[in-house]
Structure 1
Amino acid sequence: MSKLPFELFVGLRYTRAKRRNGFISFISLSSMIGIALGVTALITVLSIMNGFQHELRDRILGMTAHMTISQENGKLSNWSSLYEKVKELPDIEGAAPNIMEQGMLTNRGSVQGVAIRGVMPVYEKEVSNINGKMVIGDLTSLKPNQFSMVIGNELASSLGLSVGDKVTVIAPQGTVTAVGIVPRIKRFTVVGIFSAGMHEYDANLALIHIKDAQKLFKYDEQISGLQLKIDNLFRVGEVKQEVANHLAQTLYVKDWRQQHMNFFKAIEMEKKMMFIVLALIIMVAAFNIVSTMVMVVTDKQADIAVLRTLGATPNSIQWIFIIQGLVIGLLGALLGLIGGVSLASNIDVIVPFIEKLLGIQFFPPDVYYISQVPSKIDWNDVYSVSGIAFILTLLATLYPARKAAKVQPAEALRYE
Structure 2
Amino acid sequence: MQLPYEVYIGLRYLRAKRRQRTISLNTFVSVTGITLGVAALIGTLGIMTGFKEDVQAKIIGTTSHIIVQDRTKDGIEGYAAQVQQVEQVPRVVSATPFVYKQVLLSSQAGVQGIILRGVDPEREARVTELAKNMKMGRLDDLLKPVPVTVPTGTDNQTEKALRPGIILGKELSFRLGAFVGDAINVVSPVGPVSAVSITPKIRTFAVVGIFESGMYEYDSSLAYISIDEAQKFFNMGQTVTGIEVKVEDIFQAGDIAKDIEHALGFPFSARDWMQLNRNLFSALKLEKTMMFLLLVLITIVASFNIVSTLTMIVTEKQREIAILKAMGATRKAIMRIFMLNGLIIGLTGTVIGIPLGYAFLWLIEHYWTFDPTVYYISHIPVHVQAVDVVLVSATVLSISLAATLYPSWQASKLEPASALRYE
TM tier, smaller: over 0.9
Q: Which amino acid in 2 is paired with 1:102?
A: Q
User: CA separation in 2, counterparts of 1:19 and 1:245?
Assistant: 77
> Cα distance, 1:346 vs. partner?
4.5
C-alpha distance 260-192 of structure 1, shift in aligned 2 (>3 A):
same
1:204 to 205, 208, 221: 221
User: CA separation in 1, counterparts of 2:197 and 2:284?
Assistant: 47
User: CA separation in 1, counterparts of 2:356 and 2:385?
Assistant: 15
Q: How does 1:183-222 map to 2 (within 5 A)?
A: 183-222=200-239
The match for 2:156 is: none
> Cα distance, 1:405 vs. partner?
0.6
The match for 2:142 is: 142
Q: State the Cα deviation string for residues 146-171 of structure 1 (Å, max 9, x = none).
A: 52100011111111111111111111
Q: State the Cα deviation string for residues 348-401 of structure 1 (Å, max 9, x = none).
A: 22435xxxxxxxxxx433321223111011111111010000100110111111
Q: Percent identity?
A: 40
> Cα distance, 1:237 vs. partner?
2.2
User: CA separation in 1, counterparts of 2:109 and 2:5?
Assistant: 87
Q: How does 1:3-402 map to 2 (within 5 A)?
A: 3-16=2-15, 18=17, 20-72=19-71, 73-108=73-108, 110-143=110-143, 147-352=164-369, 363-402=370-409
What are structure 2's unaligned runs of at least 5 residues? 146-162
> Cα distance, 1:197 vs. partner?
1.6
**Secondary structure at 2:132's aligned position in 1?**
helix
**Secondary structure at 1:311's aligned position in 2?**
coil
User: CA separation in 2, counterparts of 1:4 and 1:174?
Assistant: 87
Residues 119 and 208, structure 1, Cα contact 8 Å, conserved in 2: yes
Q: Which amino acid in 1 is paired with 2:87?
A: K
User: CA separation in 1, counterparts of 2:87 and 2:23?
Assistant: 69
What is the TM-score of this pair, normalised by structure 1?
0.94
C-alpha distance 103-178 of structure 1, shift in aligned 2 (>3 A):
same
Q: Which amino acid in 1 is paired with 2:401?
A: L
User: CA separation in 2, counterparts of 1:55 and 1:253?
Assistant: 25
Question: Please, what is the CA RMSD of the aligned residues?
Answer: 1.6
User: CA separation in 2, counterparts of 1:19 and 1:376?
Assistant: 46
Q: Which amino acid in 1 is paired with 2:406?
A: Y
Residues 344 and 377, structure 1, Cα contact 8 Å, conserved in 2: no
The match for 2:412 is: 405
> Cα distance, 1:133 vs. partner?
1.1
User: CA separation in 1, counterparts of 2:408 and 2:225?
Assistant: 73
The match for 1:358 is: none
Q: State the Cα deviation string for residues 220-268 of structure 1 (Å, max 9, x = none).
A: 0111000111222222222222222222110011222232222222211
Residues 14 and 24, structure 2, Cα contact 8 Å, conserved in 1: no
Q: Which amino acid in 2 is paired with 1:85?
A: Q
Q: Which amino acid in 2 is paired with 1:64?
A: T
User: CA separation in 2, counterparts of 1:235 and 1:342?
Assistant: 33
**Secondary structure at 2:69's aligned position in 1?**
strand
Tell me whether 66-75 or 179-188 shows the greater mean CA deviation: 179-188
C-alpha distance 39-97 of structure 1, shift in aligned 2 (>3 A):
same
User: CA separation in 1, counterparts of 2:249 and 2:319?
Assistant: 63
User: CA separation in 2, counterparts of 1:240 and 1:133?
Assistant: 26
Tell me the matched-pair count.
405
